[in-house]
Amino acid sequence: MGEVIRLTGSGHYAETVPVLDDQGHMVSTEVERDMGVDIAMKWGNGFDTTMRSFVNIIATPKGGTHIQGFERAITKAFNEVLRSTKTLKNSEADVIKDDIMEGLTAVVTVRMSEPQFEGQTKEVLGTAAATRIVSAVVADEMKAFFATTKRIDKANGRLILEKVVAASRTRISARAHKDLQRRKNALENSSLPTKLSDCRSEDVSRTELFIVEGESALGTTKAARNSEFQAILPIRGKILNVQKASLSQMLDNTECASIIQVIGAGSGRSFELDEARYGRIILMSDADVDGAHIRCLLLTLLYRYMRPLIDAGRVFAAIPPLHRIEVMGSGGKKGDFHYTYSDDEMKKVLGDLTKAGKKWKEPLQRYKGLGEMDAHQLRDTTMDPDHRTLRRVTVADAEAADAMFELLMGNDVAPRKEFISTAEIDRDRIDA
């Protein structure tokens, strides 16, 4: 594809070396050294990459710092030129090294005195300054090449840019096809729990998985969701406490296994964030103490075995209301209503209504569980993206839950005994 491109230049670097002084003692002295860089490269129509590198006349088949500088600078240079020339659209991702190297034949040579090699075979250059100097030469020379006014070089440069962009688009397209096929296979996999009510969309940037406490709320939740992008997975009661369980016990647990299967990205060290079938994992439980307990159990599972989801900010807790206050309208007619999410908020709303001279229907409706809501109430308060409130789970939240479960439910009894004997317990929050 066109002519051979030559990149040449040089640089200086300082190196500390041991020398003998006049008294015959070994002392460290800083020495200024020069480094010359000479690179020849040419792109062909094929897909293979051929790279050769040398230090003086010594071949370095395993590369080293000079190759690191070359690859780093050429990747940055191509992205800058592709953006400035609009060859790469603003909506497209940057090209990567593999896109640029496709079809490239290159020889990278540096000339220097006293090169430092890694190991005894001299196959890898270890002189740190080579990265900086080669990178600077490549950056300057590539900028000059693409800015040339010579017709032949401009045409050659345009062909190279188009080839690199084509390689990038092919790679991204292949990855998208692979992801689509993977998701299709996962959806068709009979091992997925039958109780999963999946969504129709395959767009991970939109899809949401609601992990819902209790199958009693499943009917209401399914009616309240948007089946285009919201999937529902009910769990039975309190899942396994993975704080005290082994890996095999966790995988043998039906509810834990269901969650891992549905998310579809593995667990533990084999977890791959890019393989997750949903963009958001939303924990939805009752707005009471039991609901908070189940949320903590789920959070501990995610923290222990699927932590990259939390690190990426893709785990959320839904916030369902605790009360519904129906305000009386004029003439005994129904008025508007308020949802409150805590006892304190309820008291404040009632106080404000009293000051405004308004009355409300007694007794107040208190939701003991998600299943007590109508579908439209659950949708409007907890599931509709336009009206709901979600709390993003952070690593700090997960660490706090993990630490508390270790204290309260771990195998070490002494810290738990001390906590119980010294902690101030709110007896109003103890289930009778």
Q: Is the pLDDT score of 330 beyond 80?
A: no
Q: Is the pLDDT score of 167 beyond 90?
A: yes
Distance separating alpha carbons of residues 125 and 108, to the nearest angstrom:
12
> Could you tell me whether strands 208-213 and 230-235 are parallel, antiparallel, or unpaired per DSSP bridges?
parallel
pLDDT at 29: 85
Contacts of 96 (CB under 8 A, 6+ apart): 75, 168, 171
Structural element, H or E, at residue 404: helix 395-409
Distance separating alpha carbons of residues 378 and 384, to the nearest angstrom:
8
pLDDT at 431: 44
Q: Is the pLDDT score of 274 beyond 80?
A: yes
Burial class (CB in 10 A: 0-12, 13-18, 19+), 157: buried
- Judge if the upstream peptide bond of residue 18 is cis by omega within 30 degrees of 0: no
Instruction: Locate the domains of the chain by residue range.
Output: 5-15+29-173, 208-319+393-429, 323-366
Q: Which CATH number does 208-319+393-429 carry?
A: 3.40.50.670
- This prediction has a pTM of 0.52
Between the two ends of the chain, the Cα-to-Cα distance in Å is 80
Q: How many CA atoms lie within 13 A of 79 on its CB side?
A: 15
pLDDT at 128: 93
Q: Is the pLDDT score of 14 beyond 90?
A: yes
- How do residues 379-405 score in pLDDT, each as one tens digit? 989 999 998 989 999 888 777 777 776
Tokens 């095999």, located at residue: 248
Mean pLDDT score, 369-374:
82
Mean pLDDT score, 289-302:
85
Q: Is the pLDDT score of 185 beyond 80?
A: no
Task: Identify the CA nearest to 289 among candidates 113, 429, 114, 142.
Answer: 429
Mean pLDDT score, 414-426:
72
Q: How many CA atoms lie within 13 A of 31 on its CB side?
A: 14
Q: Greater confidence, 77 or 416?
A: 77
Residue 188: pLDDT band (50, 70, 90) is very low
Contact yes or no for 12/31 (Cβ under 8 A) = no
pLDDT at 424: 57
Residue 426: pLDDT band (50, 70, 90) is low
CA-atom Rg of the chain in angstroms? 32
Residue 35 identity: M
Q: Is the pLDDT score of 252 beyond 60?
A: yes
Residue 101 identity: M
Percent of the chain with pLDDT over 90: 50
Q: What is the mean pLDDT of the chain?
A: 87
Distance separating alpha carbons of residues 88 and 324, to the nearest angstrom:
53
Distance separating alpha carbons of residues 342 and 322, to the nearest angstrom:
6
Residue 187: pLDDT band (50, 70, 90) is very low
Distance separating alpha carbons of residues 80 and 92, to the nearest angstrom:
13
Mean pLDDT score, 111-131:
92
pLDDT at 15: 87
Q: Which CATH number does 5-15+29-173 carry?
A: 3.30.230.10
Q: Is the pLDDT score of 92 beyond 50?
A: yes
Distance separating alpha carbons of residues 229 and 279, to the nearest angstrom:
10
Structural element, H or E, at residue 334: strand 334-340
Q: Return the DSSP state at 95.
A: P
Task: Identify the CA nearest to 117 among candidates 54, 211, 39.
Answer: 54
For the stretch 391-407, what's the b/e string if a residue is b when 16 or more beta carbons lie within 10 angstroms of its beta carbon?
eebeeebbeebbeebbe
Q: Greater confidence, 25 or 240?
A: 240
Mean pLDDT score, 348-365:
89
- How do residues 305-325 score in pLDDT, each as one tens digit? 999 999 999 999 998 888 889
